[in-house]
Amino acid sequence: MNLAGQIEQYLPRQLMELVKDISGQAANLGQKVYLVGGAVRDLLLGYPNFDLDLVVEGDAVKLAQQVAETSQANLLAHHRFSTAKLRYENFTLDLATARKETYARPGALPVVTPGTLMDDLIRRDFSINAMAISLAPNDYGELIDPHQCRNDLEQRLIRILHPGSFTDDATRILRGVRYEQRFGFEFEAQTAQLLKRDISMLDTISGDRIRHELELIFREKRPELAVNRLGDLGALHRINPSLKGDAWIAEKFDKARRLKKPSQLPSLYFCLLIYSLRQRDIEQFLARLNIPAKLSRAMRDTLRLKTSLPLLDKSSLKPSEIYYLLREYEPLAIQANAIASDSSMARRHLQLFFTKLRYVKTALDGEELKRLGISAGPEMGKVLQMLHKAKLDGEVSTRAEEKKLAQSLSLKS
């Protein structure tokens, strides 16, 4: 099957010209280049995907260096792994030398050695990612599908390529569920059986790798679908016994999408995912996944603030009281609780802080208070705080009003 015409229609002109240039330069070096993996899958499905993976039968790093010199790309080369990334303004190209992999033990990173295109395709996670398209001039556009992967695409199936796939690398369980829910596919029957058998192999995977797979899930359009599916399969339980995927998660994730920019959503999803955990559970979760410090603080604050929500469930609270109850918490924790809380009053106060109160500043600063005769130290700190409270509560609104209040406070002290 030749897909030359589809490639021409699928890729933007600039990217198409670049791919042809790379193929020509490879041919001059006696190498062959293939488009592989997700881009082939998405081309056949009609999904846009312009971050391309290219496999080189030859020296991928040498080829990438030559391309970078002629196309002014930003080059990042990994000689140890024989891979390179070319960054352009609107897309990236990943080049890798064709390779084969072996696993010393379950969950270990693979030992990689040079190989053929066929070696490279059989090492892939699922059949839908194990196709290639030749970019060589003599058979440009030819689909290479040694494992009948196109048939799986047509039948909307997720299938592993060998029975030990999940044992070798159990992150494929998380990845497979992500693909299943993104495309509306289902696991092929034997793959489904092996997945359930090998759920416990998630224990062999490092926390960093599990966290990375969750981050990828959280970048999907509807990550709650994958989270709920992982809950049904028992995969969430292997990560932390208290994690749940349910209707509550689906509702809160959906609400989060209406409030947050896409680039900020993964962190907010993490805070919502752990909302039902106890303090003991959260420490286990943070340690297991090696969560970075800033996100760890936000997740701890999410649960700490959750226990303090009754203080916010009062209609009589002044804006300044709301501010000083919440000012020490991470913004992500405040937004997570604003989404998750059952109390409409608490939600209203959390949103008021998040959207308005945290930005309120006094017009006067310490230097101006000095000029008013207020000495630095505890007295000035007290005046600044009282000015801030008055500004929050709408008792002063202009610089002149702040100055008048500061002078009266100074005389009282």
**Fold for the domain defined by 1-154:** Beta Polymerase; domain 2 (3.30.460)
Name which of 92, 9, 109 is nearest 54 in CA terms.
92
> How far apart (Å, rounded) are the C-alpha atoms in residues 216 and 241?
21
Q: How far is CA 390 from CA 3, 325, 394, 404, in A?
A: 69, 16, 6, 12
Is the pLDDT at 140 greater than 80? The verdict is yes
Is the pLDDT at 411 greater than 80? The verdict is no
- Give buried/exposed letters for 355-375 (b at 16+ CB in 10 A, else e): eebeeeebebeeeebeeeebe
- Give buried/exposed letters for 240-271 (b at 16+ CB in 10 A, else e): bebbbbeeebbebbeebbeebeeeebbbbbbb
> How far apart (Å, rounded) are the C-alpha atoms in residues 87 and 73?
6
Residue spans of the domains in the chain: they are 1-154, 294-359, 366-412
> Are 224 and 254 contacting, i.e. CB atoms less than 8 angstroms apart?
yes
* Residues paired with 187 in a beta bridge: 158
* Residues paired with 92 in a beta bridge: 87
**What pTM did the predictor assign?**
0.89
pLDDT digits (tens, 9 = 90+) for 42-93: 999 988 888 889 999 988 999 888 888 888 788 898 887 889 998 888 788 8
pLDDT digits (tens, 9 = 90+) for 294-348: 999 999 999 999 999 999 999 999 999 999 999 999 999 999 999 999 999 999 9
